Homo-oligomer: A and B are copies of this chain.
Amino acid sequence: MAPARDPEQFFSSLSSAGRQDVLETLRRLYQRIVLDYFQSPPQVEAQVDAFVQLAYRLDLPVSRILEIHMELMADISKQLKLEHRSEDILLDYRLTLIDVMANLCETYRRATRQVLGYTAEETR
């Protein structure tokens, strides 16, 4: 069940400072997810969920999530280069983004059904 949303809390309704605040929170959450993703799967699921719920409540443009991912990848890449380590892991982190995006997409899909009043059990 998708959480209720308040349009006044939408990203597009926030002040410039408010946007910077939520983007910072999202960046921190996403970094945690990426760093934990291939380490501790059970805990990561809750982290992905928290990120997705926040992005959904904010009605965050999807392009912002791509930006958060790309900025973080640039930071990690810089760090790996400094340590003369392989950057192969960056390709694996695309799986993290796919997972987050799939979860968010499914949240919106269900919300659309809810709003339209389709209560039938979704079958596969």
Contact = CB atoms under 8 A, between A and B. Distances in A.
A59 B91 contact: no
Given A12-B120, A61-B106, A62-B102, A112 B113 contact: no
Given A59-B113, A98-B94, A116-B115, A12 B122 contact: yes
Interface in A7-38: 7, 10, 12
A123 interface: yes
A61 B122 CA distance: 9
Question: 4 shortest A-B CB distances, which residue pairs?
Answer: A108-B108, A105-B105, A94-B94, A101-B101
Interface of A: 7, 10, 12, 59, 61-66, 91, 94-95, 97-98, 101-102, 104-106, 108-109, 111-113, 115-116, 118, 120, 122-124
8 contacts: A7-B118, A61-B124, A62-B109, A64-B124, A66-B102, A101-B101, A105-B105, A108-B111
